[in-house]
Structure 1
């Protein structure tokens, strides 16, 4: 069965799962359950990225997703000599792209969702990249990776899931060589601002995201707390930049202008997305920040 047929024929058994996940306030799935449910549904046309994209120069969701992937590569200063560890790699699109455009010496990936791992491994093999890209089932907080063995650790839009993110920072420090770099694209709560209505909307938007996408309470802190935790672990040259204005609003505007992009989503998820798109971006994402981070292990 091809990737496209997997995406276009969601199992009937997922209907109840989607109903519970989307509309039951007491339903909270773990991370593999969420991504098993979402399957290969995405708003892209030519790839299976699940990231929100980086939109300054993008014409569609595929270009925006690839732009975010390459922004990660730029922040990491990804080069041909690098041994890379990629955590939370989804269906492997980013690792294939990095391998093709930046040619790092080797990429090892860890992902907890077995269904994604199987598809990603097959796609890597189809590209003939098995000797350079090794995608495995594994945890970002208990990495089966030797101490001081990698040059770059990359976490693209996934570290908010980890139990906990601070444990991931500790593991990233352990596996990085001296001088190695950790780079993340991550989602955080925004600091509360404005009157009580604004603050309530910010809290509600964050709580909806956190509940539906399995963000543990240990990971609920803002930019200042993020930097403090990296420094506490021993990282130096910590750089954090919010890119939320280049992510949420342009994605929202694109989907409103191109509703056909929702066709790959499960029908229930598609309906939920259409309801959200009736609102403006400022009403949907007020409590969500989106950051890029780079931090170096000294040595």
Structure 2
């Protein structure tokens, strides 16, 4: 084992067992590698389970829900921030056919795999996946109709910078849609509040959610408004995400075998606990906003 490999392994080991040690976002997703929760695709989202029976269906349903909420349509230029392996972009290109989809992602290993994925699908002309930051977008002013972020905005340093950049690149009348993770409102019960605190901080620590992004829905709305957005609408869909996902994965654990050995330990420990305990500190929102 080389020195670099040893250092990386020890870093991952520290990440798993040390509650005060986190990883950078790119390190988290390099650890996950090309594994995903899905069985037949490479989606990394948690899924929208209202009318879905499998993780593949739920992951597609979430991508389609985001597209529908944003009014994605033929002729649109879409900017997808944090596109993972590009599965949702392929889905949108095939089913909705926007004129162009541009993607930004900072994890190089995902960028390379996603580009191959798009090329294999024959969609290289309409889907342009780039390596770049959602908080410093290499995108021209007022050149995009729809900005979307599916389960990635909580990583950004900071989400407010992302809102400002999204506002800058959107044309007048453009829309911003996020599927995002926030903390839940604190319970009046002290023991429940402690459980919520543990739930949030474990997730925030392991998956690099900066403290600057720790706030509730009213603050989320205010920050969108401060960035210049109007017609803001934020809905919690947590009941159609966490519990059904947990129930499905507790029975169908095939994805666990695809994970890095250390990530596998964390997944198994999580699935052995109840959904109510694991996710009690996490809200899940679908957010919509418009540029005047």
TM-score class normalised by the smaller sequence = over 0.9
Corresponding residue for residue 111 of structure 1:
105
Following TM superposition, by how much is the alpha carbon of 1:122 offset from its aligned partner in structure 2, in angstroms? 0.8
Residues 234-273 of structure 1: pairs in structure 2 closer than 5 A: 234-273=228-267
Structure 1: any 5+ residue segments left out of the alignment?
A: 1-10
Residue of structure 1 in register with 2:79 after alignment:
85
Aligned to 2:161: 167
Q: Is the 8 A contact 2:105 2:131 kept in 1?
A: yes
Measured after TM superposition, the shift of residue 41 of structure 1 is: 1.5
Deviating more after overlay: 20-29 vs 162-171: 20-29
Task: Give, in whole Å, the separation in 2 of the partners of 1:177 and 1:241.
Answer: 24
DSSP-derived class of the 2:101 partner: strand
Aligned 8 A contact 1:42 1:262 in 2: no
Preserved contact between residue 81 and residue 105 of structure 1 (Cα < 8 Å): yes
Deviates more, 1:14-23 or 1:270-279: 14-23
The residue matched to 2:204 in structure 1 has which SS?
helix
Does the 8 Å CA contact 1:17/1:37 hold for their aligned counterparts? Answer: no
In structure 2, how many angstroms separate the alpha carbons of the residues matched to 1:295 and 1:288? 22
Partner of 2:17: 23
Which position in structure 1 is the counterpart of 2:286? 292
Q: Deviation at 1:60? A: 1.1
More displaced, 254-263 or 129-138?
A: 254-263
CA RMSD of aligned residues (A): 1.4
Are 1:139 and 2:126 matched, yes or no? no
1:65 is matched with which residue?
Answer: 59
Q: Work out whether 1:194 is the aligned partner of 2:188.
A: yes
Structure 2: runs of 5+ lacking an equivalent: none
Query: TM-score, normalised to structure 2's length?
Result: 0.95
Among 214, 219, 224, the residue aligned to 2:208: 214
In 1, Cα distance between the equivalents of 2:212 and 2:176?
20
Of 84, 98, 107, which aligns to 2:92?
98
Q: TM-score, normalised by structure 1?
A: 0.93
- Give the number of equivalent residue pairs: 288
4+ residue segments displaced more than 4 Å: 11-15
Matches within 5 A, 1:38-77: 38-77=32-71
Note the C-alpha offset of 1:13.
8.0
